[in-house]
Amino acid sequence: MPRDRRPQIAIVGRSNVGKSTLINALIGRKGLARVSQTPGKTRAIQFYLVNERFYLVDLPGYGYAKVPKAMSAAWGDLIRGYLEGNENLRLLLLLLDSRREPSDQDRQLRDWLDARGVPWRAVLTKIDKLSGNELAKKRNTISSSIGVSPEEPIGFSSLDRRGVAAIWNPIDAALSLPRGDTTTKE
């Protein structure tokens, strides 16, 4: 955990949803965050200092079946330890696979964030794998499952870089807020 008080923007979501890939796309550098062939690879919290100004934080994924129970409990402790009382955390991007229904863990995490007033924004990943029609449908079902309006989640594809500029908007907004004022979710 960095000791300085630079703001942090965290990326979280189930294993293999595309967290590390999104960090690379935001920064425009392919090999910065390690993209996994085998899910569950990012097991520690990774901090990437961007332009000496703020941290992009790559959190380990959850919900990977092959991770033993004990490891899963360790995941919870690690994430809670990171999120709880973290005054530097300005925004959390909750990544959801555009092809899948949100899992119980996705919704538990959302409840947990809402209960503690952590500002978050949903991002739909891998939208290149869906047609425009399919994506519109999925946007509706995923939004309703996670409890946001259908236009709120930002669609992202690492292949054609759709969504990269749109994701920078809430990040920039969160970074320009004064310290401690994270009450607006946009």
7 binds, among Mg ion, ligand GTP, none (CB under 5 to 8 A by kind): none
**Of the candidate residues 159, 166, 168, 169, the single one contacting ligand GTP (CB under 6 A):** 159
**Of the candidate residues 8, 15, 16, 20, the single one contacting Mg ion (CB under 5 A):** 20
Contact window for ligand GTP (CB under 6 A) among 17-25, 47-55, 137-145, 146-154? 17-25
Characterize 57-88 residue by residue with b for buried, 16 or more Cβ atoms within 10 angstroms of its Cβ, and e for exposed. bbbbbbbbeebeeeeeeebeeebeebbeebeb
Are residues 10 and 123 in contact, defined by beta-carbon separation less than 8 angstroms? no
Whole-number CA gyration radius for the chain: 15
Q: Report in angstroms how near the CB of residue 74 gets to ligand GTP at its nearest.
A: 14
**Of the candidate residues 42, 46, 98, 157, the single one contacting Mg ion (CB under 5 A):** 42
One-letter amino acid at 142 equals I
Cβ count within 10 A of residue 179: 10
The residues of the shown chain that bind ligand GTP, judged by CB under 6 A, are 15-21, 35-36, 39-42, 61, 125-126, 128-129, 157-159
